[in-house]
Structures are given as C-alpha cells and as structure tokens.
Chains A and B, each alone.
Chain A
C-alpha cells in the first residue's frame, strides 16, 4: 500500500462525480471523501510514529528531466493527511443545504483540489511538489469565479496576481536547486544536502518565502485573503482557509527551512517581525469588521501569523539556535486545530448568511435565544479559537508563544497579545450576533438541524477531544519533527 492511493483516489472521484447528475453529485462526492478518510485511517493505523518515511512510492515520471513521482508519509505529512482527509468530508457535508448551479463541477473541483493538496503534503520530489501546488490552486480559481459573490471577478484577479507571482518565484527556486544538484534530480533529500553558501541560500529563501508568505498569508502579503475569503462561496473559503493555507506553513517546515537554513539564518528575523506585525495588525483590524466572514478572515491572518512567528524564531541575536522541536510541534498541532476551528467559524457564518441573507454583524442579536443548539456550537468554536485551555487551541498556542519567547520576552508579549485581542474580537462578535434581544431579522432564526448538526457536532467534539488529550496527535509527528530539527541544527554553524 503506498501513498499513491491517497493521491489518485480523489482524481478518480472527481472524474466520476463530474458525470453524476443532480443530487447524486454531492452524495457521491461525500461518499468518495469518506472513503478517502477511511483509507487515511488505515494508513494511520499502520503508521509507525518514528522519523522514517513510510508508504513511500518512487516511480520514474519524466526520468530524463530528473522528475520522479516520489512521495511518502512521515509524521509531519501524517498530520497534514489527517487534516485534509478529515476536513474535506466535513466541508462537502457543510455545503449540503446549498443548491449550486453545475453542482457536479463544483464537487469535482473540490475533490480535484484534494488530490493536489495531498500531493503537496506527501511529495518528496520538487517538481511533484510544484505540480501539486498548482493543481490545488487551479480549482479554487474556478470555484471563486463561478460560484463567488458579486465582486468575484475583481477579487479573483487580485488573488491570481498574488498567488501566480508567488508560484513563479517558487518554481524558479526549485529549478535552481535542481540545477545545483549534482545528481540532476528534484529529490527533496538531495536538496537538503545542497552546498550553497549563505548568499545563494538567501536567494532560495526569498524564492520560497514569497510563495509561502502569500499563501499563509503573512503581512503585508495578505490583502488578497480577506477579499477572497469573503467573496468565495463558503465551501471554497473553507478549503482555502482550512487546508490550503497550510501548504504555505508546511512548505516552510518541509522545504524552506531545511533546504536553506543559512538563508533562513540571515532573514528569519525579518520574517519573524512581519509575522508578529501581522498578529497584532490583523487582530486590531478584526475589532471593527462589520462583515462576519471578513472578521473571521482577519482573525485567521492573526492566528496563522503566530504559527509563522514561531517557525521563524530561528536564531537569537547572541547566536543561539532556537528553532526548537516544541515550537515546530506547536505549529504542527496548530495547523490541524486552526483548520478545524476556521472551518467551524466559516460554517457558522454560512449558516447565518443563508438564513438572514446578510453578514452584517450589527444587524443581528439575540440568536442564542431562538437557536440554543447553534449557540452552544458557536460558543465552543469561539472558545477553541481564543485557545481556552482544554479546547484544541490552547496547547498549540502555548507551544508557539513559548517558541517566540525563546527569542525574547517582548516579542513573546507582542505575539501573546493575540490572547487578549482574540478574546476581544471573538466575544464582541459573539455578543453582537448571539446575545441581547432578538430583532425583526433574527426572531425567526431556526435552529440547526440535519447536516448542520452533524458538521458542527463533529467539529465541537474534535475541539474538546484534542484539547483534553492532545498527546496522541503530538506523538504522531514527534519523531519526525525532532529529526528535522536536528538536521537543520547540524547545518547551522554554532557561534
């Protein structure tokens, strides 16, 4: 059994779904997504949590060009596989109350995206990584353009310019690395062995960093994100925020830092500062957002900023190497948690805007009284987002801020502002939407039921389960992360 099953099943699924009619398309898509989840479960059950790559596949693809179809799963990839295969069925199920035009195309694109995402998360070949990256991106352009809101065209252009620019630089970086590789292959682990000096690694750093920074996004490369998240149909927004942005974070961990540690050593401080600015800046913007979806979009920039801040806490001014396993582990678990929580939040807003035909926070109020189940789900997701202990967000946030703390206490305090600011904008939103008296608009709000109950129920359960007992998840990636940290450490000259 190799990872290619995981990659190709969604492709087959996409083709099949394309030919289904009407309602069958969404049920078919859900069924395939669940099958994929089951397969991922089988992989998980056979997975040995050590540093080795497992279920690997290596086949010549365009061998003359040095391109191999080479992929596999280690602890780091395992988390990403869980994230993807877990969220896709939830996202598909969350769209069940929508009646999309050309529904088969919509669901086929989602499944196609899944294939691209899983390629990115398991690829061990630079070219395959790039192809997966683009395959994941292309469907989302279509999804935004065909099922998006009123401004979709304008927004999509901006989205395209940003991501296209990013991908282009990354491609150049990958080709450059291949050319420097004596074997002429795109092999990841050979890339790790490159003998480039700090100056050349700096170029590699920027080539990758731009792509990843745009994808996550990190301030100031973020302005496509609130627009795209707001304009895209919610299913697309969930794919983007729940899973796709993790391509950027994953790329930093798997590609950027181990390949160009000397470049990182030189430039990590810039990335760290940008990340921390992003946390504070996006949180403050979230304070006064009137559109619920946009508010969640900005909150996502803040949360992702914390992850990237911890990842770029690399070297202290006194020369100490501080890229610690605990910080990277924090990033790993927080990728999963952020995915769960942000999908929950966007679904909350999807439910609200479906019922009320608006996302204006100020027009709402009192929904808790008429929809108590919805209120509980919204509250639990809110608590997970503000990282209350015993919800999923806490352990990750603790490890991440502690990571930044290794640089110095003041940056940790700035990064930690997310604890306070997060509470401010999330509770403001909760209060304006859910509390107070109902008004003419919200009085007839019906409580959640059916597929909505299922999706929110699963999300809430995950928030609490992971919060109470995060160890099994941390354990999955523990060995792989420690190994990676050691690899990087040996390459950074000690002062």
Chain B
C-alpha cells in the first residue's frame, strides 16, 4: 500500500498547474475549491501514512525514479516517510489547508486570486518534497523550491518596488545559506559516497574517528539552516518578508518553511551529535537570535513586524533546544509554534482586514468589542506563545529551557529573560490592538467588522490546537507520558546511544522550580504590559525620535540592515564599477588594443585592418589555409 505516497506531493502540484493555467479563466469559487481540496486530500493521505507508520510499516524509502547519475554519483528521486517526516507532513498539509481556507476569504477581492492559490499550492508541493525526500538532494530541491515560492509570494504585489526588493532580499539571503548547505552535501558525498539518509546515518557512528570532519559538515549544514530559518546573522529577510499577503506570513514565514532548518538539523541529528562544537555553536546562535529578535520586537509598532520578530525569536529557541540536545523539545516547539504562530498571523490578518489594510498598532485600539472571535483566538495564541500553562507553548518552551538549564545555567537565565520579553511584547501587541480607545480614522471605524467564516473557522481550529497541542508532550513530572518523546525516540535513538548529548538529569523538584520561574516571569511581564498599555493607556509616539537610546536602537532594529549595506552591498557595488571601468576597460582592453596597434604599426600591409574591412580578414584566412595546404604537400 505504498503507492499512494507519491500522491501527497503530486496533488498540490496538480493544483498549482490547474490554477496556474486557469488563473484567468476559472471562476474564483473553482480556484479556491481546487486549491483547498488538493491540500485537504493530501492531509487525508498524510493521516493514512501516519497510521501506517505507527503500525510499523513504510520503513523503506519509496523510489520513484532515477533522478540522475554521473560517474559515481547516483541520485534517486525517492521519499522516506518515517516518524519525523510524517509529523511534518501533517503540519504542512493540516495547517496548510486551514490557511488555504482562510485565504479564500482574505484574498477574495484581490485580482491575483488565481495566481495566489497556484503559488500557495506550489509551496505545499515543495515543502512536502523537502520533508519527504529520502536524501539530501531531494531535500535541497524542496529547500530551494520553497525559497522560490517565498520569493514569489513576498513579491506578490510586485508593483510596489519595496515589496519586490523584500522578495529579492529573501531569495539572496537564502541563497547564502544554500551555498553552505550544498557544500555540506558535497562533503557528505565525499566521505559517505552517498547523499541518502539510509546510507549515511547508520554509518555515521562507526565513522567516528575516521577523520570525517563532522564539525565542518554540520557547520555547513547549519549555515543552510541559518539562512532558511532566519537566524543571526541572516535573519533580516524575514521581517521584510511581511510584505507578502498575511496568509503567506502565516504559512511560509511562521508555520512551515522557516522551521525547515530545524527539521534539517533534527533529521541529521546523528551528524550533529557527533560534532559537539557545532552543537555549542547552534545553541549560542539560537539563544543570541532569540534574545536579539525579542529586543527588537519590544518596540515595533507594525503588528506584523512584531509577529515577524517574535517568529525569529521563537526559531532561536528551537535552535537553542537543538544545540543542547533537546531534539524532541525543539521539534515539539516546531509543532506548537506552527499552531499558535499561524493563529496569531491569521488573527493579525483578520485585524488588518477589518482595519482596511492598516497595520500600525498606533492606529488601532479597542477592537475587542467589534472583533470578538479574532480577539479571543488571538488571546489564546498570545497566552500560548508566552508560555502560560496549560497552553501549547508552555510545554514545548519549558522542555527546551529545562534542557538548557541542565546544560548551562547562564544560558538558561538569558533564555528566561527572553521569555519575559516575549510575554511583554506579545501582550503589548494584544493590548494596543484590542484594548483602550479606537485610534484610527472614523472611516476605518465605520468599516470595522468581524471576518467571514472562511477566516474565523481556521482561527477557531488553530485556537483549539493552541490549547490542546501541548498535551502530546506533557512531561512525567506533571503526570503525563510525553507521547511525542516516545513517538520520536527511534529517530533520535542513535544520537542517544553515542552518549555525547548533554546530560539531562534534573530532579522533579528542580523541574517544577524551573517551570514556576519561567511562568512567574511571563506573568510578571504581562502584568507590567497591562499596567503600561491598558491602565496608563500608553501609546508609542508617532515620531521615531522618542525615548532613550536603547528604545531607539530597538525601534530601528539595531541598524543591522544599514550595517550590512555598508559592509557588503556597497563595497561589492563599488568593486563592480571598479572591475568594469578600470580592470576591464582600461587595463585588459588597453593591453589588447596596444598589442593590436603595435601589430598595425609594425606592418604597413596590415593597415587595412583599421578600416574594418572584413573581406580582408577572410582573404587572409583563405591565404593562410592555402599556405598550410601547400606546406603540407611540400612536406610530404
């Protein structure tokens, strides 16, 4: 019964083709229906695959065809559905379906409706390839394919040059990471003679000590993850990616694509486990990103920007988890984050929709009466991301933080402070948007309305998932069994066997104490936000030049974009002009022309050259050929 697996990615591809070719002919109803249906069927098939996997079937890769071979390289186009990938498939198609459904309402008035759905379907196709591939090269197809879709969808409204720039930036920054990734693949190919997981991972443990540069391999793979998952220093594309329509932000730039880096590390866990230095780097980069992005989020006033930086920050947590060996915890956070962050973005979309495309929170306020469903669902999402029990984010974030504590206490403290920041800026967003008085124009106020059911139903479903999603991983100390840990244990079994993972041996009382600390911190932060933004009704000033230096720095995103432009883009552009005007036109051409002139001067007979008489060249050549012939005859 393996022969339906290939349908899972192919159906969205078919959706892309139907909607792509029919974008100007098909009625919107049909386009929306096709777009949603293909993803829904894929979701159904993924559930079937899930049940097969849990029954212990589908252990072998499913070969479709021989993609290419050259010399000793042999790459087959094949899928691997195992305990790790099947969960990703469920998230991609499940959350993906909800977002497709939401888009039917959200994009209804857009003239590019058909184009939008075709791109969205294409994205699902590539994302499924990414997680279903049974070797690194198929993963790479998906990896760059989702990058393409991200490019297309960020630049969906390309007539705005700023949006087109954001799209380009996302693609280029991802490409920087991809170069690292592909060189990592070369190294793997060189040392393992294959790119297939089934060939690499079982060998990896035995190859330890055989001069295999695991550290270098994993660092290069991680560079790929840094690009795709927007970690320091390649994170600046993600906030700009908010130029795309909001469902895109929810699907691609929150729930699925940006977590591909986490998936890749989790997939390659044995390689990373064998490279303790890389693990430390992953943890430090993750933590630094989590904190840095949270600091920026503190003062942002655009509702989508707040969510974008919070995504960067939460991705940082995931890498922090991976780095300290909490593979299950990190993947757990991928799942819960997919629920609550998709929810928050869709909620923000609902707000923006109601506010006639206003994204500035300074123009909002008091919306909770008018947008009841949006408000309640977003409240749930905010509680979940802030790590308040029993919402989903609490369990996953807590698991990561507990492992961090076991690894290094200083990192733990920074992690908890960042969690407090998270709680603060999320509630700040919630209060500024839904509490207090309405601050927009009277026209906007007049139009305020709750969104249609196609938009609110996904919100409600995701809200439910944000409440119960954490229950798949209730730790034993709270009386649970941690189903997810058991489910994923075969995936990480080899890593555990190496004994290289950081030890995790906290007592129950320590675990409880840690939970109390992080929950307490989050609650304190939300109370502070309440006092500041609800009780004192503080609204950030419209002018940028407010407050002390630190706030300014945060508001201006620490000027990272400017620094990159100054350090990289401008020098390269300068070099471009220098190479062209000086090296090419002056130096090399100068020499060539000089040689040419010398030749001309040295022989009067060749003066004809200067007239550009082509016939003469030909004549010369013919003479030459004849001369050669004559020579050959004489010689013989």
Binding site for B on A (CB under 8 A): 62, 64-67, 131, 134, 138, 141-142, 145, 152-154, 156-158, 160-162, 164, 171, 175, 179, 184, 220, 222-224, 226, 281, 284-289, 324-327, 329-330, 365-366, 368-369, 383, 388-390, 395, 398-399, 401-402, 405-406, 409, 412-413, 416-417, 419-420, 423-424, 427-428, 431, 434-437, 469-471, 474, 478, 482, 485
Contacts and interface: CB of A to CB of B under 8 A. Distances in A.
A288 to B, nearest CB: 4
Given A65-B633, A287-B572, A288-B573, A405 B625 contact: no
A435 B584 contact: no
B617 interface: yes
Contacts of B172: 420, 423-424, 427
Nearest to A327: B71
Nearest to B636: A64
Given A162-B592, A223-B584, A369-B159, A156 B148 contact: no
B617 A160 contact: yes
B73 interface: yes
Given A175-B628, A436-B159, 4 more contacts: A179-B635, A388-B144, A401-B182, A431-B158
Contacts of B583: 281
A326 B636 contact: no
B618 interface: yes
Given A284-B576, A329-B70, A474-B68, A436 B633 contact: no
A interface majority secondary structure: helix
Contacts of B198: none
Interface stretch (B173-181, B199-207, B412-420, B445-453): B173-181
A5 to B, nearest CB: 24
Contacts of A390: 141, 145
B621 A134 contact: yes
A289 B580 contact: yes
Contact of A416 (B141, B159, B183): B183
Contacts of A162: 592
A388 B71 contact: no
A420 B158 CA distance: 22
A156 B632 contact: no
A402 B189 contact: yes
Interface stretch (B38-46, B337-345, B530-538, B606-614): B606-614
A23 B588 CA distance: 43
Contacts of B633: 62, 64-65
B609 A157 contact: yes
Nearest to A330: B70
Interface in B565-618: 572-573, 575-577, 579-580, 583-585, 588-589, 592-593, 595-596, 599, 609-610, 612, 614, 617-618
Nearest to A427: B168
A423 B174 CA distance: 10
A427 B66 contact: no
A402 B576 contact: no
A90 to B, nearest CB: 23
B171 interface: yes
A158 B161 contact: no
A28 to B, nearest CB: 24
A383 B148 contact: yes
B155 interface: yes
A366 B636 contact: no
Nearest to A288: B576
B61 to A, nearest CB: 18
B594 to A, nearest CB: 11
Contacts of A153: 612
Contacts of A161: 592, 595-596, 599
Contacts of B442: none
A-B residue pairs, 6 tightest by C-beta: A65-B632, A326-B71, A325-B71, A153-B612, A329-B70, A435-B164
Nearest to B152: A379
B193 to A, nearest CB: 12
Given A161-B595, A412-B186, A419 B145 contact: no
B559 to A, nearest CB: 22
Nearest to B161: A436
A401 B185 CA distance: 11
Interface in B309-358: none
B614 A141 contact: yes
B4 interface: no
B632 A145 contact: no
B3 interface: no
A476 to B, nearest CB: 12
Given A284-B579, A285-B584, A326-B70, A413 B618 contact: no
Interface string B250-285: 000000000000000000000000000000000000
Interface string B68-100: 111111000000000000000000000000000
Contacts of B158: 368, 431, 434-436
Given A329-B71, A436-B161, A427 B171 contact: yes
A428 B633 CA distance: 58
Contacts of B621: 134, 138
Contact of B179 (A65, A175, A413): A413
16 contacts: A65-B635, A134-B621, A134-B625, A145-B612, A156-B612, A157-B609, A158-B589, A179-B635, A288-B580, A388-B148, A389-B137, A389-B141, A390-B141, A435-B161, A436-B159, A471-B69
